[in-house]
A and B are shown apart, each in its own frame.
Chain A
């Protein structure tokens, strides 16, 4: 019983991190029709920045203050995204989509190695935050409270994002651009600005995902590419461009993964990709995607 609950909690923890990454990827695709291959690396940058900031400040300020440094990862990544989009991607929108895809692939290679250049090859840890919160007893098993916090942040982020997209004026502009960019532009909407903002928010989500996960794991090289491929699976299952889809997709992927690690570790990854492939075959737009 205890083990079962722990496994469910682990799945939820994993799902909230995945949701943050996948929601960003999906938002960017939904508004801009770009598949950002560098998205996973943005998640990694968020993790590294947060871990670095916590490591630098540890011992100088009280531990509670360290928690305030976590959003720094997300903010830095959002700023990075808002610089890169107008600089590198905007000139390519006139051309066919292969070029944008390739540019983000180049960006992935550059940022991935940039991380190694700045922070070196050794993993960065921010476990002080994780340890500080301690644990609670669940059916005689000890479970870290920090992990529960990550789950809460994931749910909160999902809710805030939903509010932003469906209940604010800005969200209306986002959805208008998503539905018909030319029409929105013709009606006087500054599409360029919406693009920068959407890209920034998408990157913010990825950075936040990295930043809140890093105290319980550690920032390691290659985490971005792994995250990207899983986020792909999530958005393919849920539907590219759909936030609900990212939410449900993240839950499906993380539960399948937890089951897979327990019962069929050899084909755990293959099963995930197969689910993605099957969903694409039956419903090319994903469970929640709309036909474009």
Chain B
């Protein structure tokens, strides 16, 4: 693998650069090439990719299995919904700023409680805390709308420059919001890439592989795990913020633990031991679920069977397996 250039001290190969550029070009062409339905589908995929990317900082890089990431996604989503319902805010940028702050606060509190544990206790504690939020969203129906949820109209983009009312607003919104998401997605991918390739990211991986040894070389394990938790929660919260305008509605389901399971699912589907795995996994999971829901009443059965097969046959996920195959081909050639 020849190195194209160094970015922030990290070598970037020609191959990764090429793949990134091709994917970027394809993503840019989506609204002009594909129909609005497909554009919306990919928009959902981008949103979930941000959530999975954040989640994977914990699972893949720090070695902590959170089974409660629905909490941060839901906090992002409900922050937007409350801004609409109680303050009448319609600006997407305000949603992002406030959602960012609120999910950071919640992640800071939850993370403080959770990161002193690892393994199954960490999973159960994150799950329990997410369920607290779920039951609050579910029961305080006069605040949250209960199971009916809260409707969120189309927001204005770029400080009110783009409004979406009147005829044809829906299609204009689909395309504009897609590009909006794409930019945020690109920023998120870039930031996460820098994080995992930074000394901080390397320290996380050291903790994942052996926490005791990491401590021996003066890595402050608790602090690093806490920071990873915080970043992870904020990314997932941001995904929740971006998801609501797309969905037009938020319900307590985004807090419910099977949704956390879906986030784990898509990350493992793509492969959690590499950077692009969660992105690919989120995109494919999104298609898989849409396809399954559209074709059969028993879509949950289908997804469950896929998950079991995946865990048993492709533990490295799609990207991980593809990379293994590629490496083997290269060795033989």
Contact = CB atoms under 8 A, between A and B. Distances in A.
Nearest to B264: A102
Contacts of B119: 97
Contact of A109 (B139, B140, B301, B312): B301
Of the listed residues A105, A116, A117, A232, the one surrounded by the most CB atoms of chain B closer than 10 A to its CB is A105
B124 interface: yes
Contacts of B181: none
A268 B298 CA distance: 32
A105 B261 contact: yes
Interface string A261-285: 0000111111001101100110010
A267 B135 contact: yes
A164 interface: no
A236 B124 contact: yes
Chain B residues touching A, majority SS:
helix
A272 B280 CA distance: 37
Chain A residues touching B, majority SS:
helix
Contact of A117 (B65, B120, B140, B301): B301
Interface stretch (B151-159, B231-239, B302-310): B302-310
A227 B304 CA distance: 19
B207 interface: no
Interface stretch (A2-10, A88-96, A142-150, A207-215): A88-96
B255 to A, nearest CB: 11
A103 B308 contact: yes
A88 B329 CA distance: 31
B315 A95 contact: yes
Contacts of B306: 106
A110 interface: yes
A269 B140 CA distance: 12
B108 interface: no
A269 B128 CA distance: 11
Nearest to B308: A106
Contacts of B298: 113, 116-117
Contacts of A110: 300-301, 304-305, 308
B312 A35 contact: no
Of the listed residues A95, A107, A114, A269, the one surrounded by the most CB atoms of chain B closer than 10 A to its CB is A269
Contacts of B301: 109-110, 113-114, 117
A101 interface: yes
Interface residues of B, number: 40
A108 interface: yes
B265 interface: yes
Contacts of A112: 300, 304
Contacts of B113: 277, 281
Contacts of A229: 131, 257
A41 B127 CA distance: 18
Contact of A35 (B123, B131, B303): B123
A246 interface: no
A35 B136 CA distance: 26
Nearest to B261: A105
A246 B138 CA distance: 27
**Which 8 pairs from chain A and chain B are nearest by CB?**
A109-B304, A106-B307, A269-B135, A113-B301, A110-B304, A106-B308, A113-B300, A273-B132
Interface of A: 33, 35, 37, 88, 91-92, 95, 97-99, 101-103, 105-114, 116-117, 225, 229, 232-233, 236, 240, 265-270, 273-274, 276-277, 280-281, 284
8 contacts: A88-B312, A91-B312, A97-B119, A110-B301, A113-B299, A268-B135, A269-B131, A276-B124
Given A267-B136, A273-B128, A280-B128, 13 more contacts: A91-B312, A98-B59, A98-B65, A98-B264, A102-B307, A105-B264, A106-B307, A106-B311, A109-B304, A266-B140, A269-B135, A280-B121, A280-B124
